[in-house]
Structure formats: structure tokens, C-alpha cells
Amino acid sequence: MRILAVSGSLRSASHNTSLLRALREEAPEGVEIELWDGLAEIPAYDADDDLVPGPDAVEELRAIVRGADAVFFSTPEYNSSIPGALKNALDWASRPLATNVFRNKPVAVVSASAGAFGGVWAAAELRKVLGAMGSRVADVELAVGHAGEKFDEHGHLIDHEVRDTLREGLEILISEVTPAEVALEA
């Protein structure tokens, strides 16, 4: 199983990117987690350029999402919402909506921020956007507040509670990829 990890932050010492590196450390056997590093290459969405094929960086994103069994997002929060670069990348990936690469794709969203609330509003908005794109949004909640205290100077996650919740989130996402037979409820 291949899981794509997408950080909403471009900052080199990003807590969100560090969180996804910790996620990779928690990958069970048989699960490969790839950290996407192409966010900065995505041009601003312009419907005039929304052709087939689209810009190279966009087609690379679409291909890598298409090839992944699931996508795990970690996002910072800018002005109570999703970072523009991440939203822009999703706007590209969502086209055309009816057949986009995120359709039916299991996704999980977590967030981290230096503030007390851990980016909880950005995460909620990201779930809304992914749902509108037709993704299968897993029931995963983790908002890492005061993120500066949760990582060491090398960006290594040192908070065991966060690590446990992160691993549980990964397990939930994996279970969305291979669900047990859904029983009809009376």
C-alpha cells in the first residue's frame, strides 16, 4: 500500500512536514509513505491553462495522487484557513471535478500550529474542500497545538501522546483503503 503525505507548509523547518516525517516512522510493514515535495512548483490556478494535459507540475501531482492508495495531509493554519498554496494545488487536482484524482480517494487531515488550537479551523476547511472534491474523508482528528514544544531541535516528534494519536490516525486511514465488508445495519 502506498500513502502520499502532503504538507501544507513550504517552510523548511515546518512542524507539519516534521509531523509527516514522524508519520512515516509509524508506517506498518507493507505500507510505504511518500512525502510529496512538489507544492512550490504548482502554478497559480488559471482556467485558461486548465487544458489536457495541464502544466507539468500539475500532471505530476495528479499522477502521484492517482498512484497512491490514500493521502495523508498535515496543514498549518493561515488566517483561520488553509494555506493558499495547498488550496491552489487542490483546485488544480480537482479538475475536472467529476473524474478528478481525489474522487473516492481515502484521505486524512491533521494539523499543527504554534498556537493553542493547533490549526483546527484549517483542518476543518481542508476536510470540507476534500469532501467537495469527492474524497473519502477518514474520521481522523489531530490538531497539534503549541507545536514548537512537541518537536526537538532536529524536527523529531518527541511528544508520545501526539505520536500515538498520529499512529491511530494512520491506522484509521489504512482501514479506509481496505474496509471490512460493510454490514447492513438494522
Partner 1 sequence: MSTTEQTQVGIPTGTWQADTVHSRVAFEVPYTVATFSGEVPDFQATLENGTLTGIGRISSITVKEENLQAHLLSPEFFDAERHPEVKFVSSSIRRNGDQVEIEGELTMKGITKPATLRGTATGPTVDHFGKTRLGLQLQTVVDRTAYDMNWNMPLPTGEPALSNEVTLKADLTLVEQA
Asked whether position 67 contacts partner 1 by CB under 8 A, the answer is: no
Q: Which of 44, 63, 132, 158 binds partner 1 (CB under 8 A)?
A: 132
Nearest alpha carbon to residue 5 among 57, 91, 101, 71: 71
Provide, rounded to whole angstroms, the least separation between the CB of residue 135 and partner 1: 7
Stretch that binds partner 1, among 29-37, 110-118, 161-169, 178-186 (CB under 8 A): 178-186
- Asked if residues 174 and 26 have their Cβ atoms less than 8 Å apart, the reply is no
Would you put residue 112 in left (φ > 0), alpha (ψ -120 to 50) or beta? beta
Contact flag: residue 55 with partner 1 (CB under 8 A): no
Q: Give the CA distances from residue 170 to residues 88, 112, 122, 152, 184, in Å, rounded to whole numbers and listed in that order.
A: 25, 16, 19, 22, 26
Residues 83-102 that bind partner 1 (CB under 8 A): 97-99
Kindly list the residues in this chain that would bind partner 1 in the complex (CB under 8 A): 97-99, 103-104, 131-132, 134-137, 179, 182-186
